[in-house]
Structure 1
Amino acid sequence: MSAAAAPAAEAPKKKGKMKGIVMTLVMALVFGGGGVGAGLYAAGAGLAGGHKEEAPVDPNMPQLVKKEGAEDHGAEHGEKKTLPMGFEVEKSPDPTKYKASYYTFEQPFTANLRDSDGFTQIGLGASTFYDQKVLDNLKENELPIRSAILMVMAQQDSFTISTPEGKLALQKGLKDAINETLKQRTGFGGIDNVYFTTMVVQ
């Protein structure tokens, strides 16, 4: 009876020992794989001493215009900055390094307000830190840009547009509309800001 019991007692010990070895291997693979993944992420993000090569600048695309005497601290030609996980944010050029150029729309913009019989009329200008190509794109595409601006203006209501916050929101909406139209028509936006030269709300 004792001879039969001995092999039965050894079998669970072997199974327990094997389970421990398998668990150790699995843990090593998990931590090792995590370390490799973290290393690859760090190298891709430029955190681990790897130098990420910049894409060559397309000479046909608009280029930033440097101010005289401004130091070069790396290229800022991209309009977007990529964050981890693929998120992108708009990246505005540094106004202390780059020279702004201005464009004024000759004709004012007039649109009815959304919630009343009133209307608003604005004179508008735009600025860019990029070269003459962006200003040329504005001139060549003024008709679709005017249409996009009027669409944004027609969405305004008389109360909101009368407040400072409403005017700032309108300014941002107009900038976004111009950039979106330019991107659709030319593949590049480049407008940094818009400015009201006149504004009448009635």
Structure 2
Amino acid sequence: MSDAPETPKKKKKGKLGRLLILGFGAVLLLGGGIGAGLFFSGALGSSKAHAEEVDPNKPQLVPRGGEHGEGGEGDEYESSYQPLEKEFTSNLKDSTHFVQMGIAVGTNYDARVLENVTKHELAIRSAVLMTISETEEDQVFTTEGKEQLQRRLVQTINHVLEEKTGFGGVGNVYFTNFIVQ
């Protein structure tokens, strides 16, 4: 007698377990399908929206070969460079030393970025001098410190350009000379 009641209970548990596993699997498949559909429709929709967002009044990336426009991921772009007219001389933060440097800017955008740099050079020079004067003495003696200064100068110049023109576009700052005294 004890064998008879146990057998039906095991079968019920087995059927119930199978139903739960099948139901859970169906929910996972359905959810995964919906998620994948939303992901791919969002990805395709965002690229269409991005293509529509290109403002012809703002500088555009210049792919190698000279055609204007936004390129896809992995494309290589032309680089343009422009030195700033005069060198910069500034004291360093909390130091008796000063630094004298010449800089050039680089961009992968069309000529409008460099035209904006020339047009707003006075404001850029002022902001660059402020950034240099906030630089610690230790930074100018190491390569790592100079690289940090370059990144800060890129941010500074782009900030000025964004304020004045609504678009930055400077990708890097290069030292054309660098003297610490």
What is the TM-score of this pair, normalised by structure 1?
Answer: 0.66
Q: Does 1:94 align with 2:76?
A: yes
| Bigger helix share | 2
**Cα distance per residue 1:135-155 (max 9 Å; x no partner):** 121122223222221222122
- Aligned residues with identical type, % of pairs: 42
Report how far residue 30 of structure 1 moved. 5.6
Structure 1 segments, 4+ long, off by >4 Å, are: 20-31
Q: Secondary structure at the match of 1:115?
A: coil
Q: Distance in 2 between matches of 1:94 and 1:168?
A: 23
Partner of 1:43: 41
Query: Would you say the 8 A contact 2:92–2:134 is kept in 1?
Result: yes
| Unaligned ranges ≥5, structure 2 | 1-14
Residues 27 and 161 of structure 1, relative CA distance in 2, 3 Å threshold: same
Partner of 2:97: 118
**Cα distance per residue 1:73-132 (max 9 Å; x no partner):** x9328xxx8xxxxxxxxx9x724xx242x2221122222111311111211111222222
Report how far residue 23 of structure 1 moved. 9.3
Give the aligned CA root-mean-square deviation in angstroms: 3.7
Partner of 2:145: 166
**Counterpart pick for 2:106 among 127, 132, 141:** 127
Partner of 2:179: 200
| Unaligned ranges ≥5, structure 1 | 1-16, 82-90
**Counterpart pick for 2:71 among 72, 76, 87:** 76
Residues 61 and 117 of structure 1, relative CA distance in 2, 3 Å threshold: same
Residues 28 and 58 of structure 1, relative CA distance in 2, 3 Å threshold: same
How many residue pairs get aligned? The number is 175
Residues 191 and 28 of structure 1, relative CA distance in 2, 3 Å threshold: same
